[in-house]
Amino acid sequence: MQPLQGIKVLDLSKVVAGPQCAMMLGDLGAEVLKVEMPKGGDDARGFTPFQNGMSALFASVNRNKGSITINMKDPEGLEILYKLVRESDVLIENMITGGAEKLKIGYEDLRKINPKLIYCSISGYGRKGPYARRGGYELMAQAIGGVMSVTGVPGNEEPMRVGYSMTDIGTGFLATIGVLAALIKRQQTGKGDWVQASLLSTQMGFASYFLTQYMVTGVNPKPAGTRHASMAPYQIYKAGDGTLLIGMSNEKQWKRLCEHPKFSNLGENPDYQIMADRVAHRDELQKDLEAILSQMTVTEALAELNQINVPCSSINTIKDIMNDEYIVNNLLTVLHIDDVGDFTVPKFPVEFEEITTEVKSTPPLLGQDTNAILQRLGYTDQMIQSLREKGAI
């Protein structure tokens, strides 16, 4: 089953965070209609690289959607949007604070048209406070949210961006949770709600124990590479022909390592008996552990560690991921678009026993469903042509 079957979503958002949220709702069965401006549409349509004219980034976050082009600055275009709002359950927008209100499509405007509407706003810094009217992107969110200050290698405090757009994608995930919660609340009360997610609030959620630990210790965290402030061994280690990751969070794992003949001398060191001691002596531990690992290849070391159930991993490139048979067959899917080609994208990132998530449609061409939707709303071909000539669609 698909739990959101029958739910109608209007996706007015652009680029990544909002479209990610709308796509996930579509994966769960919602009928999603992407609303775009007639000229250019979603900014992401213009982001390189392209395949036969379609942006790979756009393709990654816009499956399971239709597309209608509406000029919301035009009165007749605005009236079309209002008609769609009346029959919709959810609307997602990510305009700068005040932008939606200026167009007369803010929460207060649209709740008068449809009191049951779930209105989801995604912004850089939230809809209130001194940052509210600032434009915000992934890079700014990582900077103001602190993650750039703790990313990088020890000894080099130059701020570094996390490679993935983790704030955009994460905000899309959290907005999805917010919309689902609001839908459940609507079932109970019959009333809509205003769901507000922001890149900054996502970053604060990700900061989590970093904030708490700072308040406890007063020590400002610095880049630690792959090390963890509270656990050791937990980082990249050198083996005979490369590097691998080893990470442990409890004494049972440490005991299993020390019971292995090749690593038994580590258990005899009084400085490594409990986690707090190993964290305090992590430099010495790294040297001792790498002295053992240097006698093995990465493949051999991973085999030995996996055999005793000690958490470890190779360090993959994106190319390596695409050559991992399990990941490709179970966690990714291929979107085939006629005349455009194939795009490999992540599946819905949660599995269920009975709920199904599926790809019902590929990312839409700009405005591909405009005529069909307007005809459904009662517009004749002549009226549609007139709207197009006026620039309303």
Distance CA 75, CA 208 (A): 45
Instruction: Report the length, in residues, of the chain.
Output: 393
Angle between helices 199-217 and 166-189 (to 10 degrees): 100
Residue pair 114/85 in contact by the 8 Å Cβ criterion:
yes
Q: Fill in the DSSP letter of residue 64.
A: S
Q: Is 168 a catalytic residue?
A: yes
Query: Nearest Cα to 335, choosing from 60, 9, 115?
Result: 60
Residue pair 122/90 in contact by the 8 Å Cβ criterion:
no
Contacts of 336 (CB under 8 A, 6+ apart): 342, 362
Residue pair 121/194 in contact by the 8 Å Cβ criterion:
yes
Please classify residue 349 by burial: count the beta carbons closer than 10 Å to its beta carbon, then call 0-12 exposed, 13-18 middle and 19+ buried: exposed
- In the set 11, 42, 168, 193, the catalytic residue is 168
- B/e letters for 79-112, b = 16+ CB within 10 Å, e = fewer, are ebbbbbbeebbbbbbbbebeebeebebbbebbbe
Phi, psi of 169 (to 5 degrees): -65, -45
User: Secondary structure of the chain: what % helix, strand, coil (to 5)?
Assistant: 45, 15, 40
- B/e letters for 368-386, b = 16+ CB within 10 Å, e = fewer, are ebbbebbeeeebeeeebee
- The per-residue DSSP string of 213-254 comes to HHHHH-PPP---TT-BTTBSSEEEEE-SSSEEEEE--SHHHH
Rg (the chain; Cα; Å) = 25
Torsion, Cα 181 184 189 195, to 10 degrees, reads 30
Q: Which residues does the annotation mark as catalytic?
A: 168
